[in-house]
Chains A and B, each alone.
Chain A
Amino acid sequence: HSCLFRHSWDKQCDRCHMLGHYTDACTEIWRQYHLTTKPGPPKKPKTPSRPSALAYCYHCAQKGHYGHECPEREVYDPSPVSPFICYYDDKYEIQEREKRL
């Protein structure tokens, strides 16, 4: 059955440009609502969300990078995804995605 699905490490996301998933499966689709508490399109922060000064890796326990950037991860691991949001959808883009799925 491995021939039915492409391996996850072949996939690349057009949203966050990380390997391991397709655009429509990107966690940013729900993560972009992190500041939204009312129905409607996601609320954008006034200034882009900054990275925390404390960078510790949950994977290798080293200081200086975040877990999703860890160089020690094995290739076959399903790549973890970025906790940052590169892009907030507008109403139109949400409708388009709903049509696709």
Chain B
Amino acid sequence: MSPCPEEAAMRREVVKRIETVVKDLWPTADVQIFGSFSTGLYLPTSDIDLVVFGKWERPPLQLLEQALRKHNVAEPCSIKVLDKATVPIIKLTDQETEVKVDISFNMETGVRAAEFIKNYMKKYSLLPYLILVLKQFLLQRDLNEVFTGGISSYSLILMAISFLQLHPRIDARRADENLGMLLVEFFELYGRNFNYLKTGIRIKEGGAYIAKEEIMKAMTSGYRPSMLCIEDPLLPGNDVGRSSYGAMQVKQVFDYAYIVLSHAVSPLARSYPNRDAESTLGRIIKVTQEVIDYRRW
């Protein structure tokens, strides 16, 4: 499942409506898209991430909130101002399309991360498909957000990049590889083989595995590497997996998916139930009727 043109157009409309309100308030402000809508790696249910750049001492959360209410951009009860969060944001649901939007202020990192990911998508042409399937897989299991006990989508994307960077077979990075098989190998790596206790992931300079102790030396003292330890390619000293408390649950569902898929694609599959009822991928991915209806609409 990848985004269709109507979905992209609909989302651009949402962005335009918000941009108009922002420019009304601050004509020199700059609105930028980052996150999944910017990389194209979004599901029908994904949020839109926006960042507003301008000259303020503190993020003008309340000002923008009031303006958004006045212009009826959002469902009135959906607007929430999270000013105590590490990154203060405004959350809202667009009135017309029900798409959720997060707005932050003067945060460079998201925009830079989106650029970084887009560069890797050019390099590995199967990467976007791999990520979209994995995102849907985790979404169905409520493991696609750190606060529901899963991993962040930035972590997931970096795991997929590292998987391709360090794949022992050179042709794994070819554009004509069988995507389904790459997916099974991804689950094999992060569900069974990867040693989460000892090994950390480095993306920069072509990629590497690196002992967590080594990563620890590069961090501020007293910091203990997280279970899923991924060095941030854009912010040395930051561990992207730091907040992914659900990493071990994610490992478990990856292992489960590996078992199901590797059986489904082997000749033993004939003895497996429901063989004719669904596709191989259908054994681990289900798109609910709700989402299908929403896409048609």
Q: Please state if B193 and A52 are interface contacts (CB–CB under 8 Å).
A: no
Decide if A49 touches B266 in the complex (CB within 8 Å).
no
Asked whether B209 lies within 8 Å of A58 as measured between CB atoms, the reply is yes
Contact A34 B181, CB 8 Å, known A27-B262, A59-B199: yes
CB closest chain-A residue, reference B209: A56
Smallest CB-CB separation from A58: which chain B residue? B194
CB-contacts of A39-72 with B (<8 A): 45, 49-52, 54-63, 66-68
Contacts of A67 in B (CB 8 A): 193-194
Number of A-B contacts (CB under 8 A): 105
Give the docked Cα–Cα distance between A4 and B207 (Å).
Answer: 44
Bound CA–CA A75/B127 (angstroms): 35
Query: Other CB < 8 Å A-B pairs besides A35-B178, A54-B206, A80-B192, 9 of them?
Result: A27-B188, A34-B172, A35-B171, A35-B177, A36-B178, A55-B168, A59-B195, A63-B209, A83-B185
* 14 pairs from A and B in contact (CB 8 Å cutoff): A30-B184, A30-B262, A34-B169, A34-B181, A54-B207, A55-B168, A56-B209, A58-B195, A62-B209, A66-B168, A67-B194, A83-B168, A83-B185, A101-B268
Give B residues with C-beta under 8 Å from A: 165-172, 174, 176-178, 181-182, 184-185, 188-189, 192-195, 198-200, 206-212, 214, 262, 265-268, 270
